């Protein structure tokens, strides 16, 4: 029986021009290039300028994704932005993006699931497209984590960077089979018992301040590989695919050791992993679409490829998606 699927029409990314290397960070806090590379795989990250907001990065990524799709903003009737660093407490940053793109129809809203945000946003948009309520969606992950970092805390400030990535999804009738093009499944999980292991110590309703990111790194690390493999195995179970069928594994880029550990546990070959953490650091909700944009730009990602996405982050939240490009 035929089925409406959310097909990826385009992908784009945007990174603020300013880069900061590990060596430059070592001039501000007691750390070293060797420590950061060995523990995380990160070598440098992009940092937004004062006048670059999350919406600025997101709009650039959205325009790149629309260009890649050969579409215009007039085609879009849904914008779902994943971010934990909105321009303002409200309105949703998605409406700023909508207005700046000149879109006056449909709906635009934000989704907040920290580093898993992009897959949560993708799943949300997918449901609306499958229902027929909307036809064409921009799903964006955009962050300016540099604004919520405690730049005196070496245990966190070396890990993150700023950036944005976006995909254009279109609802397309498909045969309703395993070989369909588009999003085949999204699997979402949360467990709020772990909410104090990775959080921001401020907010409108608690302190009235923005706050800074705090993390029990070891606890996050301990939980990550198990959570990631669980949710990926769930995606395999639902779709009938296995690790051998995957063309590209595009994980959330938090730490190379977590990525390699998960891939090894799942039996995914190292040459199938798209890695950007060395150049971008952890850009939270932006990391997966930025990695997709990289794989698209360098010619790896092609029509028909089976792409596995995965993320884990604050909450804890974790999620996977299987997409036929
Ligand atoms: N430079 C040098 N030394 C450091 C630094 C640094 N930047 N940071 C910590 N250290 C020191 C510690 O003080 C400690 O010193 P001590 O032994 O004298 O006490 C030592 O290094 C070891 O510290 P650990 O915290 O035990 O280091 P660990 O091996 O666990 O690595 C890390 C830390 C990289 C943070 C790791 O735990 C990790 O990657 N965790 C997962 C984090 C993550 O992925 N977070 C993102 C989740 S996604 C999201 O939602 C935002």
CA atoms within 13 A on the CB side of 30: 0
Residue 137 has φ and ψ, to the nearest 5°, of -120, 145
Token pair for 173: 């009738």
The average pLDDT across 102-113 equals 98
> Is residue 310 a contact partner of residue 231, using CB atoms and an 8 Å limit?
yes
Residue 213 Cα: closest atom of ligand 1: 51
Classify 182-324 by CATH class: alpha beta
Examine domains 3-174 and 182-324 and report if their fold is the same. yes
CA of 217 to the centre of ligand 1 (A): 5
Token pair for 153: 């805390």
C-beta of 94 in contact with ligand 1 (< 6 A): no
> Is residue 138 a contact partner of residue 65, using CB atoms and an 8 Å limit?
yes
Token pair for 193: 């018992």
* pTM, two decimal places: 0.97
**pLDDT (tens digit per residue) in 197-235:** 999 999 999 999 999 999 999 999 999 999 999 999 999
Token pair for 204: 């409108």
Q: Strand locations in the chain, DSSP E?
A: 3-14, 19-21, 44-46, 78-82, 107-111, 136-144, 162-174, 182-190, 198-200, 213-215, 248-251, 306-313, 317-324
> Is residue 135 a contact partner of residue 76, using CB atoms and an 8 Å limit?
no
Only one residue has tokens 């990111």, namely 213
Residue of 82, 118, 220 to mutate, ligand 1, most atoms within 8 A of C-beta: 220
Measured CA to CA, the distance from residue 152 to residue 160 in angstroms comes to: 14
pLDDT value of residue 156 = 98
pLDDT value of residue 135 = 98
CA of 192 to the centre of ligand 1 (A): 22
Measured CA to CA, the distance from residue 67 to residue 10 in angstroms comes to: 7
Q: Please enumerate in sequence order all residues whose Cβ is within 8 A of that of 318, keeping only pairs 6 or more positions apart, or say none.
A: 116, 189, 190, 227, 228, 230, 231, 310, 311, 312
Q: What percent of the chain has pLDDT over 70?
A: 100
Measured CA to CA, the distance from residue 71 to residue 262 in angstroms comes to: 36
CA-only gyration radius of the chain, Å: 18
C-beta of 263 in contact with ligand 1 (< 6 A): no
C-beta of 287 in contact with ligand 1 (< 6 A): no
Q: Is 157 a catalytic residue?
A: no
Q: Which residues pair with 78 in a beta bridge?
A: 107, 137
Measured CA to CA, the distance from residue 118 to residue 163 in angstroms comes to: 13
Angle between helices 287-297 and 54-69 (to 10 degrees): 40
**3-class DSSP assignment, residue 139:** strand
pLDDT value of residue 18 = 98
Where along the chain do its domains lie?
3-174, 182-324
Only one residue has tokens 């609306």, namely 128
What's the CATH number for 3-174? 3.40.47.10
Q: Does the N-terminal peptide bond of residue 316 adopt cis geometry, omega within 30 degrees of 0?
A: yes
**pLDDT (tens digit per residue) in 131-166:** 999 999 999 999 999 999 999 999 999 999 999 999
CA of 317 to the centre of ligand 1 (A): 20
Residue 316 Cα: closest atom of ligand 1: 50
**pLDDT (tens digit per residue) in 158-203:** 999 999 999 999 999 999 999 999 999 999 999 999 999 999 999 9
């Amino acid at each position: 029986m035929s089925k409406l699927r959310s097909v990826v029409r385009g992908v784009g990314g945007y990174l603020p021009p300013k880069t900061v290397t590990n060596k430059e960070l070592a001039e501000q806090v007691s750390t070293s290039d060797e420590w950061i590379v060995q523990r995380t795989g990160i070598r440098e990250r992009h940092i937004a300028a004062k006048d670059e907001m999350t919406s600025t990065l997101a709009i650039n990524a959205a325009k790149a994704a629309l260009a890649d799709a050969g579409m215009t903003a007039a085609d879009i009737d849904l914008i779902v932005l994943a971010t934990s660093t909105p321009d303002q407490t409200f309105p949703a940053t998605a409406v700023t993006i909508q207005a700046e793109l000149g879109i006056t129809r449909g709906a635009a809203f934000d989704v907040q699931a920290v580093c898993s945000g992009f897959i949560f946003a993708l799943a949300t948009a997918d449901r609306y497209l499958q229902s027929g309520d909307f036809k064409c969606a921009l799903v964006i992950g955009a962050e300016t984590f540099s604004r919520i970092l405690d730049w005196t805390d070496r245990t966190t400030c070396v890990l993150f960077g700023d950036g944005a990535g976006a995909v254009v999804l279109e609802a397309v009738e498909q045969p309703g089979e395993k070989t369909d093009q588009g999003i085949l499944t999204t699997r979402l999980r949360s467990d709020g018992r772990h909410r104090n292991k990775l959080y921001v110590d401020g907010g409108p309703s608690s302190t009235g301040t923005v706050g800074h990111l705090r993390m029990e790194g070891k606890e996050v690390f301990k939980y990550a590989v198990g959570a990631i493999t669980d949710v990926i195995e769930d995606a395999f179970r639902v779709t009938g695919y296995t690790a051998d069928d995957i063309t590209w594994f595009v994980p959330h880029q938090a730490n190379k050791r977590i990525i390699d550990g998960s891939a090894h546990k799942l039996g995914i070959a190292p040459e199938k992993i798209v890695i950007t953490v060395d150049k971008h650091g952890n850009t939270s909700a932006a990391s997966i679409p930025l990695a997709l944009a990289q794989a698209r730009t360098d010619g790896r990602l092609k029509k028909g490829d089976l792409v596995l996405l995965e993320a884990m982050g604050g909450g804890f939240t974790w999620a996977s998606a299987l997409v036929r490009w």
